[in-house]
Amino acid sequence: DAKTTQPPSMDCAEGRAANLPCNHSTISGNEYVYWYRQIHSQGPQYIIHGLKNNETNEMASLIITEDRKSSTLILPHATLRDTAVYYCIVRPLRRGGNKLTFGTGTQLKVEL
C-alpha cells in the first residue's frame, strides 16, 4: 500500500476552515484516499474518501490533486469538537475487503 506523509500537528481557530494536507506520491491508479479521525481514544470515525475527483459530504471536503500525489481534507467551519487525530490512508480495493494501514496522523487542535 502507498505510504502517506502528514504533518504531526496543526492548530486552527474555531469557525475557520481547517485544511489538512496529505502527501501520497507513490499512490497507484487503483488506490483510494481515505480519511478517518480519532477523538481521544474513541473508535476511528470515517470522514470521506475519493479516487481522483474532489468529494464533499456533510462532514468535509476532499481535494485530490490532478496527479493524485497529494490531497487536502477541508473542514469548512472547525469547532472544538473537531479536535482529533486525522489519518490519511491510501489503500487498494480488494473484493471481500481490505485492511486499513494507519500512520501517525495529524493532531488537529481547534482553539477559541
Residues contributing to the site for other proteins (CB under 8 A): 32, 34, 38, 41-46, 49, 87, 93-104
Please report how close the Cβ of residue 11 comes to other proteins at its closest, in angstroms: 22
Min dist. Cβ of residue 111 to other proteins (A): 25
The owner of cell 470515525 is: 45
Q: Name which of 7 and 46 has its Cβ closer to other proteins.
A: 46
Q: How far is the CB of 21 from other proteins (least distance, A)?
A: 20
Q: What whole-number distance in Å separates Cα of residue 7 and Cα of residue 22?
A: 8
Q: Which is nearer to other proteins, 2 or 102 (CB)?
A: 102
Distance from C-alpha of 70 to C-alpha of 45, rounded to nearest angstrom: 21
12/22 with CB nearer other proteins: 22
List of E strands, the chain = 9-13, 18-23, 31-38, 45-50, 55-56, 61-64, 70-75, 84-92, 106-111
